[in-house]
Structure 1
Amino acid sequence: MGTQVKVERFTSATAAQVKSAGFDFVRFGVWVNAMQTAAYQKRIGAAFAAAQEADLPVLVTVRSTIALVPPSSNESDRNAQLRDVAKQLTSVVRSLVSAYGNNVLAIELWNEPDLATYWPTGNSDTTFPIYMQAVCAGLKPIHRSVPVVGFGFARAPARGSQSDKLLESIRASSAHCIDAVSYHAYGMSELQIQHASKYIRSRYCLPALITEWGISSRGKEGLTGQAAHINSFLMGRESLNTPLISIYEWQDSVNGKNARERNFGLLDALGTRKPAFGAALTALHSQ
């Protein structure tokens, strides 16, 4: 059981709080396009240092926040550019593993590529497989030492879904690239999560991981509703057939696009504990 944190405010004190709450790891993102600046590299280094100080391994989600290639009507040129830019991601992963490998729980490739918002590189049906096949080829040496999971889908793969289509499109590569399929389980019931795990295992021979699950305190049930759902989910985690789960998220954000998205935290934006924190604490220390 882990929780998502933001690198820009993840300190040693925060890491100690996360650890004492009962979480086993933290998840945070590293943006390939931002790693070109020394300031961002320093921020990532500080986040890893804080996690290591608290003995918290890191699930690192690596992706770009900008389009990988410009629009092009020439398919061969676009595909060549995608293969070339894949080297940037593999280079970042190699540098992370080299610098922080002892504290890397796993590398997660991308985040919600089944949504256009997080795959701003044209039609994912055609661009995703070209890019990820090149990424997988470049990560073969890394794969021997650090687990690699993919691809943080917004929806659990199910027959005919977009996430299922993307997995199928790189099936030959993924068998030598990823050790597990990761997805986000917002709003899913226990039975739906169990079915997703069974489907992924039977179709792809890989375990299913939940790298985001959470509930906002700005929904119709408010703070008490968030706490109740957090407690119920964590208390039932043993029945989910899911070996790794990351809660979204540790602390409310200040830059979400709406009130709902800004209030998924166990703590509020100022660091004050919400009822959800107490619910998580009780559940995590009960088993």
Structure 2
Amino acid sequence: MMKSSFVASALQRLPGLFRLLCASAAIAAVSCAAQARGIADLGTDYPTALSVQIDPADISDADLNEIRAAGFELVRFGVRPPIKSVNPAQIDYSKLIRRVRNARLEAIVTLFGGREIWGHEPSDPGGGQREKLFANFAAEFMNAHAADVAVWELWNEPDHKTFLNPALFSNFETATAEFCSSIAQLKSPPKIVMGFGFAKLPFNAGQVPPQLENAFVSGAKANCLTDISIHPYRSVPETAVGDYARLRARLDEMQLGKVGIVASEWGYASYLPVRDRNMQASLILREYLTNVAAGIKLLNLYAWKDRGTSTVSREDNFGLKSKGGEKKEAFSSLTEFLKIARTSKKVSYDSNGSLNKLVLSRGTTLLHVVWTQNAEQNVLIPAARGKKCTRVDFFPQVHHGSCGSPVEGGVAAKASSYPVLFSIAD
């Protein structure tokens, strides 16, 4: 009590903005003493917790139950202000959150407006009030649903002009500060609040506008934002390992060592003639393996279902299932891997630039997963004589079988761009 009185007395003597920042830090510090905050404390049965993107407008209860049965622990969806210009369907988000919980799933809720930040109508007030309107909406929604949402994310791709007008970056800083000041006043701040779902790698020269990076750093240092969320889309998943390491190093340099990294949106589309469904399946499984290899705690996969039916449209075909509900090859390979990897932990990851070897442990069993980025390579799976070895192929169909004849030191195999798992048990 003496410490709280001292803080309150000191704050009364601080001017404006400085007082606000100190209040944010002080309240968060007291809160952190009572509960841990940040993605590091997210509970999961897997080496990397897996979420999948859903469309709030057409997700069914049957879909949600199937998502949970497949091994996903979370679903991600966006929530926008109740303004027709950005939320024409006027979705009942509170009901959706209840349905998600009823399916034994957790929610990742992304709070964002429109290209003009607040999604305002032309008649809405100006003069700095629009940013406050959005900040109030976000904070009020968060406070109302704090008990039922596991992970919060502020904004979606502010560095992409579709989601934020580039002329309004300074306004975005203001909106973030307003939001953080509201969060600081809550008795129990949400445990995980990520920002901002960057479309490109932040704190990497020339990638993300500095105003957006500054907004994140300010929010993180005020104990408002607990983690950083990025969208690591790329042609080859494995290159993300190095990018994650560089981002981690930059965060540490800025004394943000407690800030975790989350891949809150990342997927691969099956669209002709660029990529067939088999290659989509391989890349999605490799995407998951890459996040495990890099020690990323949470990955949200884009997406559950295809948006449309055109076979040549990239945006139509990111789903694990077709628009009509047909399971793609990516669904089968990923969900089979999740069955095997449940309760496992990462042991090691090695890469020579093309050949990748990830080792997981599940009790006394070691799971060796091998794959390449291109051509086939020979690989030795270490296994002591007398150990039981089971090989699991995920492509073109899931198959459990023998590892073949042992050789000196283990089992000889060929690795390709389609991951293969070897289970070594007593």
Q: TM range, normalised to the smaller chain? A: 0.7 to 0.9
Q: Residue in 2 aligned with 1:11?
A: 60
Question: What displacement does 1:46 show?
Answer: 3.3
Q: Residue in 2 aligned with 1:235?
A: 289
Higher alpha-carbon Rg: 2
From 40, 48, 51, the equivalent of 2:90 is: 40
SS of residue matched to 1:221: coil
Structure 2 CA distance for aligned equivalents of residues 81 and 199 of structure 1: 33
Structure 2 CA distance for aligned equivalents of residues 157 and 24 of structure 1: 27
Structure 2 CA distance for aligned equivalents of residues 201 and 33 of structure 1: 38
Question: What displacement does 1:248 show?
Answer: 0.5
From 211, 216, 220, the equivalent of 1:174 is: 220
- Per mean C-alpha deviation after superposition, the further-off stretch among 260-269 and 192-201 is 192-201
Q: Say yes or no: does 1:262 pair with 2:308.
A: no
Q: Residue in 1 aligned with 2:164?
A: 119
Would you say the 8 A contact 1:69–1:78 is kept in 2?
no
Q: Residue in 2 aligned with 1:64?
A: 113
Question: What displacement does 1:269 show?
Answer: 0.5
Q: Report how many aligned residue pairs link the two structures.
A: 276
C-alpha root-mean-square deviation of aligned residues, in Å?
A: 2.9
SS of residue matched to 2:315: coil
Q: Say yes or no: does 1:110 pair with 2:155.
A: yes
Question: What displacement does 1:71 show?
Answer: 12
SS of residue matched to 1:104: coil
Q: Say yes or no: does 1:152 pair with 2:197.
A: yes
Q: Say yes or no: does 1:27 pair with 2:76.
A: yes
Q: Residue in 1 aligned with 2:178?
A: 134
SS of residue matched to 2:283: helix
TM-score when normalising by structure 2:
0.59
Q: Say yes or no: does 1:207 pair with 2:254.
A: no
Would you say the 8 A contact 1:33–1:66 is kept in 2?
no
Residue type at the aligned position of 2:227:
A
* Structure 2 unaligned regions, length at least 5: 1-49, 342-426
Q: Residue in 2 aligned with 1:162?
A: 208
SS of residue matched to 1:138: helix
Question: What displacement does 1:87 show?
Answer: 1.7
SS of residue matched to 2:340: coil
From 85, 89, 104, the equivalent of 1:55 is: 104
Higher relative contact order at CA 8 Å, sep ≥6: structure 1 or structure 2? 1
Would you say the 8 A contact 1:252–1:269 is kept in 2?
yes
Q: Say yes or no: does 1:88 pair with 2:133.
A: no
Q: Counting helix residues as a fraction of each chain, which structure ranks higher?
A: 1
Would you say the 8 A contact 1:69–1:82 is kept in 2?
no
Question: What displacement does 1:156 show?
Answer: 1.9
Q: Residue in 2 aligned with 1:192?
A: 243
Residue type at the aligned position of 1:268:
S
Tell me: CA distance 1:5–1:178, structure 2 relative to 1, closer, same or farther (3 Å).
Answer: same
Structure 2 CA distance for aligned equivalents of residues 7 and 70 of structure 1: 21
Moved over 4 A (4+): 34-39, 69-72
Structure 2 CA distance for aligned equivalents of residues 145 and 280 of structure 1: 31
TM-score when normalising by structure 1:
0.85
Structure 1 CA distance for aligned equivalents of residues 251 and 266 of structure 2: 18
Tell me: CA distance 1:200–1:255, structure 2 relative to 1, closer, same or farther (3 Å).
Answer: farther
Question: What displacement does 1:34 show?
Answer: 4.2
Structure 1 CA distance for aligned equivalents of residues 131 and 301 of structure 2: 32
Would you say the 8 A contact 2:57–2:91 is kept in 1?
no
Would you say the 8 A contact 2:83–2:119 is kept in 1?
no
Q: Percent identity?
A: 22
From 267, 283, 287, the equivalent of 2:337 is: 283
Tell me: CA distance 1:269–1:163, structure 2 relative to 1, closer, same or farther (3 Å).
Answer: farther
Tell me: CA distance 1:109–1:70, structure 2 relative to 1, closer, same or farther (3 Å).
Answer: closer
SS of residue matched to 1:32: coil
CA shift digits 1:12-64 (9 cap, x unpaired): 2111111111111111111124499997353x233222211221010100111
Residue type at the aligned position of 1:237:
N
